[in-house]
Homo-oligomer: A and B are copies of this chain.
Amino acid sequence: MELKSGILRAQLARQTGCNLETIRYYEKVGLLPDPPRSANGYRVYPPDLVQRLQFILHARELGFAMEEIRSLLSLTDTGAQTCAEVMAKTQLHLDDVRRKISDLQRIERTLSTTLAECSGENVPECAILSVLNCS
């Protein structure tokens, strides 16, 4: 099969560590463009898509939601993005991450202090059950 300077989906997946099906999903939701097709209908990606997909995957690792990633990409797609804009979006995401951390920390404190009150023995009375049953 002749591929003038393009790669197939599995190669894109391998080069980025992305799941094969996820690539198709990102295409469906518009994070990746509809790629050109070869004569037999196979997707043929230009090599710079490796970079774009890696951008998406890195953003995902940092917990950005799809909608946030979409909006970051729409900035860079114009080529006229500014650090100020990117910072603003990132700051909002960071606020969200911090909220999640403190929610989880509150849960962590409740669980660990309650666990510390448990006898851990083969008895029906249990501090955790008391907390869950409290009205």
Contact = CB atoms under 8 A, between A and B. Distances in A.
A90 to B, nearest CB: 5
Contacts of A87: 115, 118, 120, 126, 128
Interface of A: 51, 54-55, 58-59, 61-63, 72, 76, 79-84, 86-87, 90-91, 93-94, 97-98, 100-101, 104-105, 107-108, 110-112, 114-115, 118-129, 131-135
B62 A107 contact: yes
A83 B126 contact: yes
Contacts of A126: 81-83, 86-87
B82 A132 contact: no
16 contacts: A51-B133, A62-B107, A72-B132, A79-B124, A82-B123, A83-B125, A84-B120, A86-B129, A90-B111, A90-B114, A91-B115, A93-B111, A94-B115, A97-B104, A101-B101, A101-B104
